[in-house]
Amino acid sequence: MRAEAVERVRLVFTLFDADGNGAIEADDFELMARRVTAAVPEAGAEKRDAMVTAFRTFWKALAENADTNRDGKVDPEEFRTVVLDPQRFGPALAEFAGALTGVADPDGDGLVERETFMAVMAAIGFAQPNTRALFDALEPVGTEQVAVPAWSEAIREFYTPDATGVSDHLVGQPVG
């Protein structure tokens, strides 16, 4: 596994452990869902509900695949063994990417404003310099909007172990 992928695993664990207690639990996904939907108050109820459902689906897939001792928690070791496995998380990840980009595009024009992008990524827990670098790497339309399909692809890429590309901007020091 590439060094960037190893760093992604560490980063994603930290992000998913939203309450910082050292384990990932269903409550962490509920907390992230609340944070993300609060970051885009102008998103309609349908888009906010889809985001909450996607976070719950992702938790369910994670728990089913990683919580090997069935204690309702995923510890770092359990997490490392499965998180970047597209076979296990493909459908949940696709739902998550669609819901996240959907809630961030409240007017449905297929473009996400820089300010909304930054707010949503901060709500998840990504560092601002890395988020800015990712936004710029997504080749914004003009300077203030990114296309929903480009961001959605970057989300899926981020969870692919040996993929290289724009999602590397979220790991470590900002690139570019």
| Alpha carbon distance 94, 25 (integer Å) | 21
Exposure string of 13-29, with b = 16+ CB inside 10 Å and e = fewer, is beebbbeeeebbbeebb
**pLDDT for position 172:** 52
Contact at 8 Å (CB) between 35 and 124?
Answer: yes
pLDDT at 35: 97
Domains in the chain (CATH in brackets) are 3-164 (1.10.238.10)
Residue 162 has a CB neighbour count (10 Å cut-off) of 9
Contact of 5 with 169, CB cutoff 8 Å: no
- Cβ(121)–Cβ(132) below 8 Å: no
For the record, the structure tokens of 133 come out as 């670098």
Strand partners, 111: 147
Global pTM value: 0.87
**What is the four-CA torsion angle of 106, 107, 109, 115, rounded to 10 degrees?**
-60
Mean pLDDT of successive 10-residue stretches along the chain, which has 176 residues:
73 92 97 97 96 96 94 93 76 93 96 96 91 86 87 84 59 45
